[in-house]
Structure 1
Amino acid sequence: MKVELVQLAGRDGDTAYNLERTLEAIAACAPDSDLVVFPETQLMGFPTEENVAAVAESLDGPSLGAVRQAARERNIAVVVGIAEVDAGRYYNTTVLVTPEGIALRYRKTHLWASDRGVFTPGDRYVTTLWKGLRVGLLICFDIEFPESARALGELGAELILVTNGNMDPYGPTHRTAIMGRAMENQAYAVMVNRVGEGDGGLLFAGGSAVVDPFGRLLCEAGREECRQVVELDLSRLETARHDYRYLEERRLPLQGRRVDHEDGRREWLIP
């Protein structure tokens, strides 16, 4: 499976600029790429309490509509973050868009300090089957909690996709966390972070990475804008799980409840 990581500098509250750069990056993908991944809240940047109502969009809004069209035209899947509005509430959301449409929506469950008061936390973890692979989504701060990735593991995740908006001085924290989450769940993990300056003097740390099911870094970006292309050897999943399987051998169960849907989606509901 061929995955492209697009590490960009965004503009908070400037959807037109961010969308234009997102569409340009999708158009520049290699013809044989399967998946392209962008940072957290890529389309809107990080909103505030004052402007979230003006910038947030629903899943059927114009920005995701443009991404859906681009994914269909390029025959590629896209993982991208948005500020979502639904029934008067706002969510830090990441979606998996395939050429057929929105295959998966995940709302960030662990809100960072600047998320609080702006977003409502999500209440579930989600996975779906895509090209025969069980794929799950996480967002930034989520990966600092082992239970988040473990919930995806409970759902059978083989590929964990993380949209990231991590800033200095916490870059090393996420480097360590993404390696641990992949190893603990014997799954591939792809994390794509933002770079450059954000509102409030934040400096985003970059460091986008791909980690194999043994917890080994396959690639790691620096602190500048870049595109990285990685081929995932899916046979490593079975190799990593051949002699031992952490999920089957652990002694403590994870709280929550699993729900299976007829369309292949699986959810882990937070109690």
Structure 2
Amino acid sequence: MKIALFQTAGAGSVSANLDLLETRAAEAAAQGARLLIAPEMFLTGYNIGERTWELAERADGPAAQRAAGIAARHGLALLYGFPEYHGEEVYNAALFVDRDGRRELYRKAHLFGSQEQRLFVRGPHRPPLVELDGLKIGLLICYDVEFPEAVRALAVAGADVIAVPTALMAPYSIVADTLVPTRAYENGVFVAYVNRVGTEGDLAYVGRSCLIGPDGVALLRAEADGEALLIAEIDPADIARLRRVNPYFADLRDDLYS
């Protein structure tokens, strides 16, 4: 299956970002991609303060309806970040929607820093798995991947790919360059980590979006600056091969760590 990583600064408004998503979905589908991943808070921008609450939408709101139409028109699945309004609460969320209209919502469990903790409620549920073309895809958002327990739980549950929309800013490039490949290697999974670029308020995003194989090696790696649409094919046979070489799961002493 081919996966597309869409590194971007966004286009300045929800409607413009949906236009951008349609354009990149068409390009990715033309190259055979079956999943297009956009960054954390893609629809609205990440560092926008209280405007987050003003722009938050329900998971079945107008933006989600339009995204479902984009997925259907271009025959691929989408995963993108947005602020989700649910009841009286707002979550930092990511929505997966495929060409058949099937949806999966994930609410970020680990909120980074005082700004996120002020704007959002922590997601209350375990990260989900979705199946696409026979592959199981686990969903996380940004800071979540920095907790080894989150990735290990998805890997133990059968994930082949961990998809991570993110908004990684300076000076934390080590996460994209070192920690994400480590997560892939120690769990024998693919990790697709898709970041923002440019500046937004007082934040400078570091780009470096990447698709890491289960051997910890980058199949794709974007630059620190500039929009990019990167596409690569992943082979689930690589997971079985790597786990034979590095039998972490077989050798894990669950009796010591439960």
Normalising by structure 1, we get a TM-score of 0.88
Q: Of the candidates 162, 168, 171, which is equivalent to residue 170 of structure 2?
A: 168
Superposition deviation, residue 5 in structure 1: 1.0
Paired with 2:102 and 2:178, the residues of 1 have a C-alpha distance of 31
Aligned residue in 2 for 1:267: none
**Native 8 Å contact 1:144 1:174 kept in 2:** no
Whole-angstrom distance in 2 between the partners of 1:29 and 1:109 = 29
Count of aligned pairs: 253
Give the partner amino acid of 1:165.
A
The answer to which of 209-218 and 101-110 deviates more is 101-110
Deviations 1:51-80 (A, max 9, x none): 233100011111111111010011101111
- Give, in angstroms, the shift of residue 243 of structure 1: 4.2
1:181 matched to 2:177? The reply is no
Partner of 1:23: 22
CA separation of 1:46 and 1:89: change in aligned 2, threshold 3 A: same
Contact 2:11–2:20 (Cα < 8 Å) also in 1: no
Match of 1:86 in 2: 86
Q: 1:47 to 1:221 in 2, by over 3 A?
A: closer
* Structure 2: 5+ residue stretches without partners: none
Secondary structure class of the residue paired with 1:101: coil
Letter in 2 for 1:93: A
Distance 1:189-1:234 versus aligned 2 partners, 3 A rule = same
Per the alignment, residue 37 of structure 2 pairs with: 37
Deviation at 1:248?
3.4
Residue deviations 1:170-210 (CA, integer Å, cap 9, x gap): 112232111011111101111110001112x2111100001
Change beyond 3 A, Cα 1:150–1:206: same
Task: Report the alpha carbon displacement of residue 34 of structure 1 after superposing the two structures with TM.
Answer: 1.0
Shift of 1:29: 2.0
Cα distance in structure 1, aligned partners of 2:108 and 2:169: 17
**Partner residue of 2:159?**
157
Q: CA deviation at 1:147?
A: 0.8
Q: Distance in 1 between matches of 2:237 and 2:172?
A: 33
Does the CA contact (< 8 Å) of 2:52 and 2:119 recur in 1? Answer: yes
Aligned equivalents of 2:52, 2:9: Cα separation in 1: 20
Does 1:214 pair with 2:215? yes
Counterpart in 2 of 1:262?
A: none
More helix by share: 2
Cα distance in 2, alignment partners of residues 10 and 30 from structure 1: 20
Output the CA distance in 2 between the equivalents of 1:57 and 1:219.
32
Residue 16 (structure 1) shift: 2.2
Alpha-carbon distance between aligned partners in 1 of 2:88 and 2:250, rounded to the nearest angstrom: 41
Once residues 142 and 133 of structure 1 are traced to their aligned partners in structure 2, the CA distance between those partners, rounded to angstroms, is 21
Structure 2 residue aligned with 1:110: 110
CA shift for structure 1 position 20: 2.0
Alpha-carbon offset, residue 49 of structure 1: 5.5
Distance 1:49-1:218 versus aligned 2 partners, 3 A rule: closer
- Please say which of residues 42-51 and 20-29 is displaced more in the overlay: 42-51
**1:73-128 superposed Cα distances (whole Å, 9 cap, x missing partner):** 11101111111011111111112110122432111111011211111111221112
Q: Which residue is equivalent to 1:126? A: 128
Whether the aligned pair in 2 keeps the contact of 1:49 and 1:117 (CA below 8 Å) is: no
Distance 1:193 1:51 in 2: 21
- One-letter code aligned to 1:144: E
Question: What is the aligned-residue identity percentage?
Answer: 32
Secondary structure at the aligned position of 1:60 is classed as coil
Distance in 2 between the 1:146 and 1:240 partners? 19
TM-score, length-normalised on structure 2?
0.92
Residue 142 of structure 1: how far off its partner (Å): 1.1
SS in 1 for 2:253: coil
Query: What is the CA–CA distance in structure 2 between the aligned matches of 1:50 and 1:40, rounded to whole Å?
Result: 17
